[in-house]
Structure 1
Amino acid sequence: MIDVSVTVSLADVSSYRPGEPVPAEYFTRFHETGDSGNAVMFNPPRFRHHVAVGESPADMAEQAIAPMLARHGAELLDEVDILIVHTQLPETWFVGNGGEVAARLGIVPEWLIDLHNGGCASFVYAVKLAREIMQSTPAKSALIVNIANTAGQLFDQDQVRPLAQAAVPGDGAGVAWLTRSDHSPILDIEARHLPQYAGEMTLVSDPPRRHWQSGPGQMHIGFTEAGIAKVLNRGNEIVPEVARAVCGRLEVPPGDVDLLVTNQPNRKFLENWRDSLGVPAERHPDTFEECGNLFGVAMPLTFDHAVTSGQVPDGSLVLFAGFAHAGDFAAAAAVRWNGRLSPRDGSC
């Protein structure tokens, strides 16, 4: 049974950007005419980061949590009861990379979850799952690990790189630490599945084949002009909807939140969301120009950057919001942020 009297807080965040920044020209010089390069969906960022050859999801997770462990010490890992890992491109078939991440961190959590859905909003979905586990079990703390690793692998293939879609994604990793405490409480969460759109994000090749079959054509995302228009319309609607649902229950106008942190598919979505919610640009940080579309990593990495750069004063009301894939999931969460949890604050 869920015990809502148990308060769960976002205690800390940290992140990792692999390698040196990759400029837009790395892709745009190969762009073919006739592709959907002029679509707002694929207007490229100035830079993005790519995973190195042979760099695994566990490598990325280890790098992402390193700043957090430097602040709190390795003993933080001793009390982790829940590990939720979302890997954009799982490299361990069937089981995902959660076990590999746990082994690398040297932990054996009671709850080990490979979260394969939620996409660009998987951070919020993982926060919801972790909070509800902590409110219904004795679990005291959770780690959420988001890994984006397709930019330097799938989108950097020589047949895919000329496509406009290839210039937008970036790689990176983000980690969040949740604890039983009232330090920076998670105030409310809205999560909505729209499964009727789940089959619209497809992987294609030329000639066609299944992803596990060998063949000459390299896999990429099967965008069409009609499909892009649908995704843009859905994204413009469902992200403000879930954000307003959370703000409504908190009785706070969306425009009054201190910080809006979203996923970052492209510049147009970012602009449309803050305009719809009445949030000025200075209160809607993003890392799109430096990192591109980070998918599920965008929220924790951007929030980590905002906290580290002093953009989030103690007491700030932070609203996380985003959607996934072609619109099959959307979620929002509100947190009253009071700074990174320090050892003297305790975790229970």
Structure 2
Amino acid sequence: MTAVKITASAGYLPEKVVTNDELSQLMDTSDEWIVSHTGIKKRHYAIAENTSDLATKVAQKLLQQAKLAATKIDLIIVSTITPDALTPATAAIVQKNIQASNAFAYDLSAACAGFIFALATAEKFIHSGMYQRAMVISAETNSKMMDFTDRTSAVFFGDGAAGVILEKSAGNTAYLAEKIATQGNTEVIHSGRVAPLQKVAADNYPQLDAFYQDGRAVYNFVTNDVNAHIAEFLADNGVKPTDLDLVITHQANLRLIENIAQHLALDIDKFAINVTEAGNTSSVGIPLALAQALEQGKRPKKVLLTGFGAGLAYGSILLDLSEFGK
């Protein structure tokens, strides 16, 4: 079995910080309401930066941290639901920006579970033995897809990027187990839908819809399906919740993370949390929290990553990062 390791982990948040009070000037909401319902205090918005710009900054950080030339990267996957364009892939723009001339690159769309799906995909390429190194980046500019009259969605989301470099290892593997799943549901969460052509006319042009989520349905999905998924995943791999050194879930909102902690009967201190300061950054939340934990010097032996989002897509990965940086 081919062993893999994570050799670099980095994140980036745009400079512009948007507080709850600022959003209350755009819609009927307040700092008190947002904090009590979501735990979110602020978020970052990309101003004059697109998704590829954020992803490129993370890619450059990863190369510097791993002390690698861009030409050593074989594969770049960018997980995003807010790409620069439908085509070309945002990952191809990142490849060009960092001059990773030996890599092939493409985007992956699995919403807030995107990093889980992308990391699982990259691991298979490395596991095949045909490729040595993969760069996996989640990048989102959620702000450009928001309807700022919709307080049920707009108050949650922020922008950012984060990722890892995954490579073949001659030692112990960092990638222990995974389970990913999808329930076909196009109504609970959707964004950027393009309507089919109704007639051939000169005034036809593509239009995208803004981000939408049914908050109650999302809550029920997480508290029922996702919690059951986590319990089954851990049991299938002979892991008790108390065996976990670190848990990183999708940073949907603080209340959902608290619910998952309660379901696992774990102290919230075992959970990496950035949603309070960065908002819901969609697929970015998990790799950003991972980068923040590793930057703080944590080297957890058993790490649970769980993502969930539109699709409905969800999944978990179990990692051993005790040898990160060695």
TM-score band, normalised by shorter chain:
0.7 to 0.9
Residues of 2 paired with 1:248 and 1:339: CA distance? Answer: 25
Aligned to 2:228: 241
- In the TM superposition, residue 38 of structure 1 has moved relative to its aligned partner by 6.3
Aligned to 2:175: 186
Give the superposed CA RMSD: 2.9
- In the TM superposition, residue 260 of structure 1 has moved relative to its aligned partner by 0.3
Residues of 2 paired with 1:279 and 1:16: CA distance? Answer: 29
Q: Is the 8 A contact 1:242 1:321 kept in 2?
A: no
Residues of 2 paired with 1:233 and 1:108: CA distance? Answer: 45
Q: Is the 8 A contact 1:10 1:179 kept in 2?
A: yes
Residues of 1 paired with 2:266 and 2:212: CA distance? Answer: 33
Aligned to 1:58, the other structure's residue is in SS state helix
Aligned to 1:316, the other structure's residue is in SS state coil
Aligned to 1:320: 305
Query: 1:307/1:231 Cα in 2 relative to 1: closer, same or farther (>3 Å)?
Result: same
Equivalences for residues 1-348 of structure 1 within 5 A: 5-32=1-28, 43=38, 45-53=40-48, 55-75=49-69, 77-116=70-109, 118-151=110-143, 153-155=144-146, 160-161=148-149, 163-181=151-169, 182=171, 185-195=174-184, 197-203=185-191, 213=205, 219-223=209-213, 227-310=214-297, 312-313=298-299, 315-325=300-310, 328-342=312-326
Residues of 1 paired with 2:67 and 2:151: CA distance? Answer: 44
The answer to which structure has the higher strand fraction is 2
User: Identity over the aligned pairs, expressed in percent?
Assistant: 19
Mind listing any 5+ residue stretches in structure 1 that lack a counterpart? 343-348
Residues of 2 paired with 1:261 and 1:242: CA distance? Answer: 15
Q: Is the 8 A contact 1:274 1:281 kept in 2?
A: yes
Q: CA offsets per residue over residues 63-98 of structure 1, 9 Å max, x none?
A: 1233333323242x2321111111221122333311
Q: Is the 8 A contact 1:201 1:222 kept in 2?
A: yes
Mind listing any 5+ residue stretches in structure 2 that lack a counterpart? 198-203
Q: Is the 8 A contact 1:83 1:109 kept in 2?
A: no
TM-score, normalisation: structure 2 = 0.87
Q: Is the 8 A contact 2:188 2:217 kept in 1?
A: no
Task: Give the number of aligned pairs.
Answer: 318
Q: Is the 8 A contact 1:30 1:162 kept in 2?
A: no
Q: CA offsets per residue over residues 289-316 of structure 1, 9 Å max, x none?
A: 1100011000000111111123x23x52
